[in-house]
Amino acid sequence: MSDRIVEAYIGEYASGKSESAINRALELARKGRKVNLVDLDLVEPFYTLRPLQEELSRLGLEVIAWKTEETVGLGEAGTVIKPAARWALRRIGDVILDIGYGIEGARTLNLLEGADEDPDLKIFAVINISRPMTASVADIVAEVGTMGHVDGLINNTHLAEETTAALVQAGSRIVTTAANAMGLPVIATQAEEKLAGVIGPVDCMGNRVRPLKRFMPKAFW
Amino acid sequence: MPETTTKMVLAGEGGQGVQAIAEILAEAANEEGRQALYIPNFGVEQRGGVSVAFLQISDHAIGSPKFLKGDIVAALSERAVQRTATYAGPETVFIYDSAMEGVEDDLPEGAARVIPVPAMEVAKEEFHPRVYNMVIMGALVGATAVVSLDQAKAAIEKRLGYKFEKNPQLRDLNFRALERGIEMGRWPKGGIN
Amino acid sequence: MPVPAMPKSWRVDNKPHKFCPGCGHGLVLKCLGKAIDELEIQSRVVYGCDIGCSLLSWDLFNLDTVQTHHGRTTPVMAGMKRARPELICIAYMGDGGGYSIGVQHLVGAAMRNEKITVIVANNTQYAMTGGQMAPTTLPGQKTETSPYGRDAETTGLPFQGAEMIAAIAPEGAYVARGSVSHLAQLTRFLKKALRNQIDGHGFSFVEALSACPTNWRTDAAGTWEFVEKDMAEHFKRGEIKIPEKREAAADA
Amino acid sequence: MTVAPVKEEKRVFMTGNEVVAWAALAAGADIMYGYPITPQNEVMHYWSRLAPRYGKSFLQTEDELSAGFATTGGVMTGSKAFTATAGSGSVLMQEPMAMAEMMRLPTVTIVQQRGGPSTATVIYSQQEVTLTTMGGNGEGIRVVYSTAGHQDLYDYTIKAFNIAWKYRFPTFVLGDGYQAKMREPLTIYDPEKRGVKLLQPDPFVGKEGEPGRDRPPAQYRNTYNLEEELYEKIMSDMKEFEENSADIAEYESSYTEDAELVIIAHGIVFRAVREALDNLRQQGLPVGAFRPVTLRPLPVGQIKELVARVKKILVVESAYGQIARLIKEKACGAACEIHTMFKPGIGIAAEEVEVRAKEILAKQ
């Protein structure tokens, strides 16, 4: 078995893909692993990792994303895949992929060289039940059904500053039920650090709780 | 020659030649060294709509192309009567073609004088319907004396000379129609009829 | 005074209409009125006209009508049809609106097979604005903006609008070109175009060769000759595209 | 077949463009016409995903002219129709919206402002104020709501449909790229359950019966023959617009009663102002804030009252004086000082506003 970790985070708009990917990458880096964090959001690359690049690099990540000054046109002409991102799976170390939203966002993986034959690649769908499109078990099953191959779900239920432990637990119940219906594992329940402490190491459904540090508010403005 | 500005509104159906009349009068006045300002105002139709010409002739510089009341308002069709009644004030001489029927209710009430002119009848019987606008132009010149007969003729010559070259009889026809119109325009004072 | 024979779908109270004597619009719209009468669809039609001389038809029919901007009647009618598919939507315009300023709307509607009927009256120039050159102006034809005659080298050849639509419209579309010189045929084309919309096959388009004696400066004989000889040389009458296997409507 | 898309009140988390799509559904919109332009694309993305589930329609047109004109066609059939655009798309949208003004068509247009002039940036600005409030050729016979976040986007998109159909003025919801793309929580709800009655549209064309036999034909035009005809038409529309302006106009204000300086901003910039205001007040400084929610018609009475009473005004915007021009016009003749902070095409942070406000207060 390979020790290499390769994970792609997909999901609805604002479901928390980027936040999940960043935190996962940092978690691995803290363990002393070499980690590549790749921005593969082709729909709107400039609302995700771009403003965070320097900070994340300082924290020890290899960030593969466009720099603002390297591009022109932004959202309208900026959906050009960065060559380094295309070959990301050939890099040494772990690879964490932030895959953008889009009706067939998961198919973005086809753009990665070697994605179809990489034995380590795992694709996780990030779910926030506070989003009407993925609010119920039926909605989640339908939504994930359109995403192509998925290896597991992540409960990332939140309402930004208004998130409560009860909400996260409610999310866990719905996401776990949906995962069971699809025969998929729940990889983790994610919650902001403080809240994660309140919930404890496992949530009400027995899913591992991953504490999150929020970066994305800095990704904006 | 009048000292002040003469303001005229001419209106008719598209194709009746009101714009040509106004243009010729403006050119004649200009040739005489007077100030003239003419502005056409028409609907969206190429033909068939009410066509209105606003003409001002003066001895001094003319201000706004738009004015509220005309000294002379000439309406050559039923619709033109309705359209132009608004330009008739207490000082206005309102001229309309007496061949029109059923316009009595639309004629302006407060005008200084409202004069029916049998221009269509005269054009048809004495000349040719095509010189109708010459009769009207004559009537306006007769009523206002804004330009001299010679100058009016010169301006017509300038505009229609190329046609007259081919058919000199046309020149005579047009000029006679003009003179007949001038005669009619010197209508005895005294309001309707 | 006896009222001349008018289609039932025409308004009688505001006639005579406002087109110039000898104008082709009146004839095209009479054919359209007859087609509407024969199909008995007066209560379902919404008629849209452009700016340009076609706007003078804004109150010509006893039909619900909207007069729009230059070239924009096509999207207005497409918008109506999408919102209320049971309505029968007709967009009427001149060649300037259809083939110049509104051509991308025409292309978009044809390509999407919008279930509307577009009628373009082609009189080889912009008439209401005083006779400027249009995409349809004939080679050598003098207009206010081609005072020495249209030069094909620098301004191109008469635009083959109906052929273009036939080429880009998907299966189900109906495309024909008629003429005011052949009114029975034009009526038949218009009827088939409307039938195509009623049956839900797809886009329908009729170009009608029309006449503009005012801007052509032609008398009756000259007008006839221009339509029948000069225009006919460049614009072929006939059906250009018919839905396969489902021939649109009875050829009444 | 159709079920209410938003059945019960719910706290949700999403982007502004999605909020618009959900709000349009909640408002009972029937059809959207659109053309891609960043940053409004996801309004179309979400609407086109959601629409078929609720028996609604979507049409992607060949350009914004077409999207706008198709929207006018849609509303004429008595359907609640809307479109969304931004930047140079807004420029094209003014042609159909001029027709909507002339024919008094109840179109709803969402504008997510981006940088200008020209293509500029796709990110953010407040540079479409003049365009959206005044439109193309004409007198700006329209209603414009400037939103300051997701709850506003939801509330005012729903309101826009009602106002449009009530008054038959084309109505706009003026957002921006930040609001389009940012994520924050909001409460979605069924407006009817909150007692907001959704107006049922009345068709302009395609009514029951045969025109000329059962009813007169419904005939609409935007072309007038005479100056006088046009004059009467516009004067009557303007009279109606002005008579209803006070009812339509909305605003938000805080701490203006005892303020020496009042900061005026609209839209998302007001959030920076609100934040700055809290800090300034905590420091005991006599500052207030005022936000016109409707940019057309403006809350004229409140603005006039304000400028007559306070000593200093600071207008803050992500444009070079577009809202300031409107405020100054209403403030004409007042003795107050009017200061400005113009940052065209770029976001404004609370700290910047705070610094500027202190500078102005310190000046004698």
D336-360, pLDDT tens digit by residue?
999 999 999 999 999 999 999 999 9
Which residue do the tokens 């708009």 mark? A13
For residue B187, the model assigns a pLDDT of: 65
* Pair (D15, D154) in one structural domain: yes
Residue A1 lies in a domain: no
Domain assignment of residue B193, yes or no:
no
Q: Is residue C1 part of a domain?
A: no
Residue in C6, C65, C66 to test binding to D, most D beta-carbons within 10 Å: C66
Q: Which residues of C touch D32 (CB under 8 A)?
A: none
State yes or no: pLDDT of A87 exceeds 90. no
Tally of domains within chain D:
2
Q: Which domain holds residue C226?
A: 24-241
Identify whether C136 is part of a domain.
Answer: yes
Is residue D290 in a domain?
yes
Residue C139 inside a domain? The answer is: yes
Nearest to C104 by CA among C79, C137, C71, C136: C71
User: Is residue A40 over pLDDT 90?
Assistant: no
Considering its fold, how many domains does chain B have in total?
1
- Report the CATH number that the domain containing residue A82 is assigned in CATH: 3.40.50.300
Whether residues D39 and A159 touch (CB distance < 8 A) is answered with no
Mean pLDDT of D298-315: 97
The structural domain count of chain A equals: 1
**Are D23 and D163 within one domain?**
yes
CATH number of the CATH domain containing D297 = 3.40.50.920
Interface test with D, best of C40, C84, C86, C118 (most D CBs within 10 A): C84
> What total of structural domains would you count in chain C?
1
Q: Number of residue pairs across A and D with CB atoms under 8 Å? A: 64
Against chain C, the chains showing at least 3 CB pairs within 8 Å are B, D
Closest by Cα among B154, B150, B83, B142 to B115: B142
User: Could you tell me what percent of chain A has a pLDDT over 70?
Assistant: 84
Q: Is residue A32 situated within a structural domain?
A: yes
Domain presence at residue C84: yes
Parts of chain B with a pLDDT under 70: 1-3, 43, 45-48, 187-193
In a domain, C205, yes or no: yes
What does the pLDDT read at residue D1?
A: 39
pLDDT of residue D45: 93
Identify the domain containing residue A114 by its residue range.
6-219
* Sequence letter at residue B151: Q
The whole domain housing D187 covers 10-194
Cβ distance C18 to B48 less than 8 Å, yes or no, reads: yes
pLDDT grade, residue A81 (50/70/90)? confident
By percentage, how much of chain D surpasses pLDDT 70?
99
Give the C:D interface size as CB pairs under 8 Å. Answer: 143
Please name the chains neighbouring A, where neighbouring means 3+ C-beta pairs under 8 angstroms. D
Interval D202-254: pLDDT, tens:
999 999 999 999 999 999 999 998 888 999 999 999 999 999 999 999 999 99
Q: Is residue C81 part of a domain?
A: yes
The C-alpha atoms of residue D296 and residue D171 are separated, in whole angstroms, by: 10
Structural domain contains residue A52: yes
C5 in a structural domain: no
B54 to chain D: which residues are within 8 Å by CB? Answer: none
Q: Is the pLDDT of residue D62 over 90?
A: yes
What region does D172 belong to: left with phi over 0, alpha with psi -120 to 50, or beta?
beta
CB contact under 8 A, D14 and A160: no
Give the pLDDT of residue C67.
Answer: 97
Same-domain check for residues D256 and D153: no
The CA distance from D186 to D143, in Å, is: 24
Domain housing B29: 6-99+107-185
d(CA A35, CA A92): 8
In a domain, A121, yes or no: yes
Domain end point (choices D194, D218, D236): D194
- Give the ipTM: 0.87
Confidence label for A77 from pLDDT (cuts 50, 70 and 90): very low
Nearest neighbour of C214 by CB, restricted to B44, B46, B49: B46
Question: Do D185 and D36 share a structural domain?
Answer: yes
**CATH code of the domain covering residue D184:** 3.40.50.970
pLDDT in tens, chain C (252 residues): 565 689 999 999 988 888 988 999 999 999 999 999 999 999 999 999 999 999 999 999 999 999 999 999 999 999 999 999 999 999 999 999 999 999 999 999 999 999 999 999 999 999 999 999 999 999 999 999 999 999 999 999 999 999 999 999 999 999 999 999 999 999 999 999 999 999 999 999 999 999 999 999 999 999 999 999 999 999 999 999 999 865 544 444
Of D105, D238, D239, residue with least CA distance to D165? D105
Q: Is residue C176 assigned to a domain?
A: yes
Residue A43 has pLDDT above 80, yes or no: no
Q: Which residues of C52-73 are buried (b: 16+ CB within 10 A; e: fewer)?
A: bbbbbbbbbbbbbbbbbbbbbb
Q: Is residue B191 a part of any domain in this protein?
A: no
Tell me if B162 is assigned to some domain.
yes
Residue A47 pLDDT: 55
**pTM of the full structure:** 0.91
Q: Are D185 and D262 contained in the same domain?
A: no
The answer, yes or no, to whether residue A107 has pLDDT greater than 80, is no
Give yes or no for residue A103 having a pLDDT over 70: no
What's the confidence (pLDDT) of residue A45?
57
Could you give the CA distance from residue C10 to residue C6 in angstroms, rounded to a whole number? Answer: 7
Q: What share of chain D is helix, strand, coil (3-state, %, to 5)?
A: 45, 20, 35
The arithmetic mean of pLDDT across residues A185-193, rounded, is 96
The Cα of D297 is separated from the nearest Cα of chain B by a number of Å equal to: 32
- Among D223, D226, D231, the residue to mutate for chain B (most B Cβ within 10 A): D226
The answer to whether residue B127 sits within a structural domain is: yes
Q: What angle do CA D77, D82, D87 make, to 5 degrees?
A: 140
Chains contacting D (3 or more CB pairs within 8 Å): A, B, C
Look at D13 and A131 and tell me if their CB atoms are within 8 Å.
yes
CATH number at residue C164: 3.40.50.970
Give the percent of chain D with pLDDT over 90: 94
The CA radius of gyration of chain D, in Å to the nearest whole number, is 21
B44/chain D closest Cα distance in angstroms: 6
Domain containing residue B58: CATH number: 3.40.920.10
Answer yes or no: do D24 and D105 share one domain: yes
In the predicted structure, residue D272 carries a pLDDT above the cut 50:
yes
**D111, D257: one domain:** no
Instruction: Assess whether pLDDT exceeds 80 at residue A67.
Output: no
